[in-house]
Amino acid sequence: MLRRFYRATWGRVVAWTYDWFMSASEQAGLTEMRRQLLGGASGRCLEIGAGTGVNLELWPDSIERLVLSEPEAHMAAQLRKHVARSRRSAQVVEAPGEQLPFDDSSFDSVALTLVLCTAEDPAAVLREARRVLRSDGRLFFLEHVRAEDAKLARWQDRLHGPWYAFGYGCNCNRATLATIEGSPFEVERVERGRLPKAPPIVRPLISGVARAGGTED
């Protein structure tokens, strides 16, 4: 009951204020990071955990199809409003990343941006991403992660609980790159950076591309 109350109240607030809360980071360079990352996408594309639709206008015009999945009802409501106002045609599907309602090998490109920090089971999300990708498909990821600096990592551990409550399930100390490397993907490239204008505990950032392993479709 407490969890349902939390989702119904704070979840609604987070959905309404997310774009405003992230605006300083977006203007300071995060939007351009997103644009550069998604610039390599092609064909049939899926964004897992699309949130309010921050990436919507950043996908290349050349892609064939765009599907946006989002598990949280309040976020999905904002996402649908964004799509309705946009020049971009996209399908919105309300579904968790751990259980995607798509056939195997349905997409050529899958994107995850600031998603694996809040996923209940990041490894399961990555398995699903691999399942719905063609064997020659690509995963595009941009995630804040556990710090390499030991001192900052200790602060991430200390402040994990308060941040988790404030950030609506956001884990500030996840070793996400290790999770991706241990998934059914082969990392092609990865860059480390900083989430601009963000609190130090969520500032360490990775961005990169991974290739789907397996046999040809």
- Give the whole-angstrom CA distance, residue 169 versus residue 195: 18
Which tens digits make up the pLDDT trace of 130-158?
999 999 999 999 999 999 999 999 999 99
Specify the pTM. 0.93
Q: Which domains does the chain have, with CATH numbers?
A: 2-212 (3.40.50.150)
> In sequence order, which residues have a C-beta less than 8 Å from that of residue 60 and are 6 or more positions away?
38, 39, 41, 42
Which tens digits make up the pLDDT trace of 159-193?
999 999 999 899 999 999 999 999 999 999 999 99
Nearest to 53 by CA among 15, 82, 93, 11: 82
Nearest to 48 by CA among 102, 88, 11: 102
Tell me the CA distances in angstroms from 40 to 45, 60, 63, 148, 199, one per residue in order.
11, 8, 10, 27, 29
67: which 2 tokens? 């599907």
Q: What share of the chain is helix, strand, coil (3-state, %, to 5)?
A: 40, 25, 35
Percent of the chain residues topping a pLDDT of 70: 94
The continuous run of DSSP H or E covering 136 comes out as strand 133-144
DSSP tag of 56: G
Task: Give the pLDDT mean for 62-86.
Answer: 97
- Give the whole-angstrom CA distance, residue 72 versus residue 50: 10
Q: Mapping DSSP to helix (H, G, I), strand (E, B) and coil, where does residue 204 land?
A: strand
Residue 183 CA, distance from chain mean position: 16
Answer whether 16's CB lies under 8 Å from 78's CB. Answer: yes
216 has a pLDDT exceeding 50:
no
> What pLDDT does residue 7 have?
67
Average pLDDT, the chain: 94
pLDDT bucket at 205, cuts 50 / 70 / 90:
very high
Nearest to 33 by CA among 192, 184, 177: 192
94 has a pLDDT exceeding 70:
yes
